[in-house]
């Protein structure tokens, strides 16, 4: 816990984040301004957080925000760091992190597909990845209703009608 504290203090001094705390055992959480994110990622990578474990997103629909979460791992110290930043939900455009972490390429493509966030500089991020011929709003947004989508795509069949036509119209009851 001690080394986590030291690392936290060091990162606080260097990055002056909006918010920084210890989220769990050996895990630091920091929130920075969107404009500061790339600088913070570069700094963290040079400080030993050399691995991007995952890049993901949260849809805070009540605040009208998307929160991007970069989870980095420092294998020397055994500390994870969540770097978080919020961008406006109405204009979901952000910079790519592929120059700093090349491994972000497919994570950004996934976030684009599921949340509709554009990553400037990642030429692949517009291509579909997991969903084939998706024709609705990005599905992990909170205003996407899977039940309604499923009902419209796969309507319930009228069981009585099918049953009766197969049995020549005879009433089962």
* List of residues contacting another protein (CB under 8 A): 23-27, 29, 50-54, 56, 58-59, 69, 71, 73, 75, 78-80, 82, 84, 101-103, 105-107, 114, 129-132, 139-140, 144, 146
For 27, the 3-state DSSP assignment is strand
Q: At its nearest, how many Å lie between another protein and the CB of residue 15?
A: 19
CB 53 → another protein: shortest distance, Å?
6
Q: Which two tokens stand for residue 26?
A: 């050996």
Query: Token pair 């009228």 is at which residue?
Result: 158
In which element (H, E) is residue 169 found?
none
Identity of the residue, 51 or 164, whose beta carbon is nearer to another protein in the bound complex: 51
Name the minimum Å distance from CB 169 to another protein: 39
Nearest residue (CB) to another protein, 8 versus 52: 52
By the 8 A CB rule, do 135 and 84 touch?
no
* Between 77 and 164, CB nearer to another protein: 77
In the bound state with another protein, the residue whose beta carbon lies nearer, of 15 and 113, is: 113
Q: How far is CA 42 from CA 33, 49, 142, 164, 165, in A?
A: 15, 9, 31, 67, 67
CB of residue 165 to another protein, shortest distance in Å: 33
3-state SS class at 32: coil
DSSP secondary structure letter of residue 155: P
Q: Which is nearer to another protein, 69 or 164 (CB)?
A: 69
Shortest approach of another protein to residue 42 CB, angstroms? 15
Based on C-alpha coordinates, what's the Rg of the chain?
23
């Amino acid at each position: 816990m001690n080394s986590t504290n030291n690392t936290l203090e060091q990162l606080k001094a260097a990055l002056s984040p909006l918010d920084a705390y210890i989220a769990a055992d050996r895990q630091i959480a920091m929130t920075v301004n969107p404009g500061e994110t790339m600088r913070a990622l570069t700094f963290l990578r040079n400080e030993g957080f050399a691995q991007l474990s995952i890049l993901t997103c949260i849809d805070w629909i009540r605040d009208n925000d998307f929160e991007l979460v970069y989870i980095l791992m420092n294998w020397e110290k055994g500390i994870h760091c969540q770097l978080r930043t919020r961008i406006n939900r109405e204009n979901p455009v952000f910079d790519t992190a592929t120059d700093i972490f090349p491994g972000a390429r497919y994570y950004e493509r996934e976030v684009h597909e599921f949340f509709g966030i554009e990553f400037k500089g990642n030429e692949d991020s517009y291509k579909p990845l997991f969903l084939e011929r998706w024709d609705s709003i990005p599905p992990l947004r909170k205003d996407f209703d899977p039940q309604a989508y499923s009902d419209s795509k796969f309507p319930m069949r009228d069981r009585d009608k099918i049953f009766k036509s197969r049995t020549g119209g005879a009433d089962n009851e």
